């Protein structure tokens, strides 16, 4: 019996139809650069039917007041797409895609304005508008 040495490589294939076609596509692509490719094993199959997802982004706007009196500020952000806006800043809708919130910064102080934008993507996206949620956002 002769001893053999094998090199193990990881391949990742994708297909919108099946995991078999994804595996075949990965092996076919690898066969162009690897010689004597003989064995392929599917170890993991993940999320074969991903059609909708949510992107989460956390924003922090730091406002510093260097003056001797308090300042009142108003922030408006236009957010295109199907959005869920979460914050403790008491947000209001200026229009169907623009979020508005107000705050006051004391003299000589700073304030972090935290908010989370959840953008619905793929089949999760139903409308082109913003939904407001009140809740704590962790930085």
pLDDT of residue 50: 55
pLDDT of residue 105: 95
Question: What is the residue extent of each domain of the chain?
Answer: 1-50, 53-134
pLDDT of residue 51: 67
The model's pTM is 0.60
Give average pLDDT by consecutive 10-residue segment, the chain, 139 residues.
71 76 81 74 61 85 93 94 93 94 94 92 86 88
Query: Which residue, among 92, 91, 98, 105, has the nearest Cα to 128 in the 3D structure?
Result: 98
pLDDT of residue 48: 52
pLDDT of residue 116: 93
Q: Residue 101 corresponds to which tokens in the numbers above?
A: 């919130």
Q: How far is CA 64 from CA 42, 56, 104, in A?
A: 55, 26, 11
Distance of CA 135 to the CA centre of its chain: 19
């Amino acid at each position: 019996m002769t001893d053999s040495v094998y090199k193990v490589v990881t391949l990742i294939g994708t297909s919108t139809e099946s995991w078999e076609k994804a595996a075949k596509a990965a092996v076919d692509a690898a066969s162009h650069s690897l010689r004597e490719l003989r064995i392929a094993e599917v170890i993991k199959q993940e999320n074969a039917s991903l059609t909708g997802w949510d992107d989460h982004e956390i924003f922090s706007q730091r406002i510093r007041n260097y003056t001797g009196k308090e300042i009142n500020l108003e922030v408006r952000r236009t957010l295109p797409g199907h959005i869920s806006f979460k914050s403790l800043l008491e947000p209001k809708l200026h229009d169907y895609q623009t979020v508005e919130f107000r705050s006051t910064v004391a003299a000589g102080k700073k304030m972090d304005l935290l908010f989370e934008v959840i953008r619905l993507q793929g089949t999760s996206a139903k409308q082109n508008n913003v939904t407001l949620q009140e809740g704590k956002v962790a930085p």
